[in-house]
A and B are shown apart, each in its own frame.
Chain A
Amino acid sequence: MTETVLEEKKIDEKWEPKIIAFLCNWCSYAGADLAGVSRIQYPPNIRIVRVPCSGRVNPYFIIKSLVDGWDGVVVSGCHPGDCHYISGNLVARRRFAILKELLEFFGIEPGRVNFMWASAAEGERFAVLIRKVTKIVKELGPNTKFQKEWC
């Protein structure tokens, strides 16, 4: 995608970010489901990928998403201590901490990549946080630094 196209995209008032969400099967995915069946409104900008555990999320998934042109990434798992696999989210937390610091160090806007906890009972919290993520990414504008130019 050429830069002028991206510029136009930025000016475009109607531009909506596309956000990829990695949700863990046991808590956050069920939380998203609960938000759905409870008819809680949240922005339709997220596309959900169901993963077994937040510990399954390789940092490369996140980078690859940005390379492939997603404007934002959100990873959500069970609260610490509630992991179905006992410690998957604790392992993931250290990984994310380092990834987030490195991205910031390299000059990627910190808001592009977000991490959150949401349990299966927290449909409301899930919707609130997704609204927040969408707002953050919308303010950042389209993902131009990272996107690959496919020829």
Chain B
Amino acid sequence: MGIETDNKEIISSIRENAKLLLSENQVDVIIGYSEGTVPLSSTPIIIRKEEDVDKLIWNNLCYINLARYLAPLMPQLCDSEGNSLKIGIVAKGCVGRAVNLLAVEKQIDLDNIKMIGFNCNGIVNRSKIDLEIGEKEILDVSISGDDIIVKGHNWEKKFPYDQYINELCKVCQIKSPSATDANCIGECQELESIHDEFSDIAEFESKSADEKWAYIKDALQVCTLCYSCRQACPMCYCNLCFVDQNMPTWFGKTTQFTDIFTFHLIRAQHLAGRCVACGACSSVCPVGIDLNIITRKLEKIAKERFDYTSGLNAETIPPMMDFKMEDEEEFMLEED
């Protein structure tokens, strides 16, 4: 069983389910993935007709979190009066999490959503591959067996899949959407809670403050503040983001490290307990910044402090929308 055969099975199940939903008129539109127009990428596609289901694909470059198009709702997914159509959405585990969380936050109505679930087999880390190829032009990317084969003019390079998988996917435990049969077709599961040791960031956390700062500074200072990470994030749906507010202008628009750092810190704060760990932010970064370490930390805070994992169901209220009298307050200053 290689990745290639896995993908083929997933594609056929997605197409079959999509066809079923459209033919039975359970949904009006289906949003899914299609072949990308540039190498190492994929493109979202909206289909309305049964005969178009063959355009739907799945491979390990489908890094976009499709829940991004649900809130705020894309005009293509509305009828002429601006009401939501019945939407089918091709959902890997993290898309399912985002859909659940958007429903908790009252951004979408789950009655309008039908997920087409499947067992995701992980996303490839594009920037890692990009980095190794360098400036050579990529002409073709294919997956054969367990390898990703990248071809260009007179060269060909093999990348073993298990070494180039996204860090988040390595530790991911929610491969298929956590949903009930009522709003999911295909693979889905009902998860109560998950167990996670967060051993992957323990090493980073044990470093000294100066070492951590040096690492963060090194990683983030190439950021150009293009806000791609915000645009790709399914949970960043604010009408007016804090970086765009200009009365008063809180946020500096320079690329000095202070401004870059402030952006990432406040974005992390806003996503605490809400991040669904899809890794879309890192995948879309044009300069290849690895934000996964922040993502993992946010998951850790939510899990350890509030015993919460985002997007497991559409009922539990996220920690930052709630409070308890008996919350931990070990960080508060006390008299000696």
Give Cα distance in the complex from A129 to B333, angstroms. Answer: 7
Q: Does B223 touch A at the CB level, under 8 Å?
A: no
Contact flags A46-72 to B (C-beta < 8 A → 1, else 0)? 000000000000011001100100000
For A148, give the chain B residue with the smallest CB separation: B258
Closest to A122 in B: B335
Q: Assuming A98-B301, A101-B297, A106-B265, what are 9 further A-B pairs, CB within 8 angstroms? A: A63-B262, A94-B323, A94-B327, A101-B301, A102-B301, A105-B212, A109-B209, A129-B335, A148-B258
| B265 and A97 contact, CB distance less than 8 A | no
User: Is A34 part of the binding interface, using a Cβ–Cβ cutoff of 8 Å?
Assistant: no
Please tell me if the beta carbons of A60 and B333 are within 8 angstroms of each other in the complex.
no
Give per-residue flags for B239-260: 1 if the beta carbon is below 8 A from chain A beta carbons, else 0.
0001000000010100010110
Neighbouring B residues of A67 by C-beta, 8 Å: 252, 258, 262
* Cβ–Cβ < 8 Å partners of B334 in chain A: 116
Inside 8 A of B256's CB, which chain A residues have their CB? 148-149
The tally of CB-CB contacts under 8 A between chains A and B is 104
- Given A63-B265, A91-B323, A107-B214, decide whether A132 and B333 contact each other with a Cβ distance below 8 A: yes
Q: Is B111 an interface residue (CB 8 A)?
A: no
Expressed in whole angstroms, the minimum distance between the Cβ of A114 and any Cβ of chain B is: 5
Which residues of chain B are within 8 angstroms of A81 by Cβ–Cβ distance? 325
Inter-subunit contact B268/A102 (CB<8 Å): yes
B266 at the interface (CB under 8 A from A): yes
- Determine if B319 is an interface residue (Cβ-Cβ < 8 Å): yes
In the bound complex, residues from chain B placing their C-beta under 8 Å from that of A116 are: 332-334
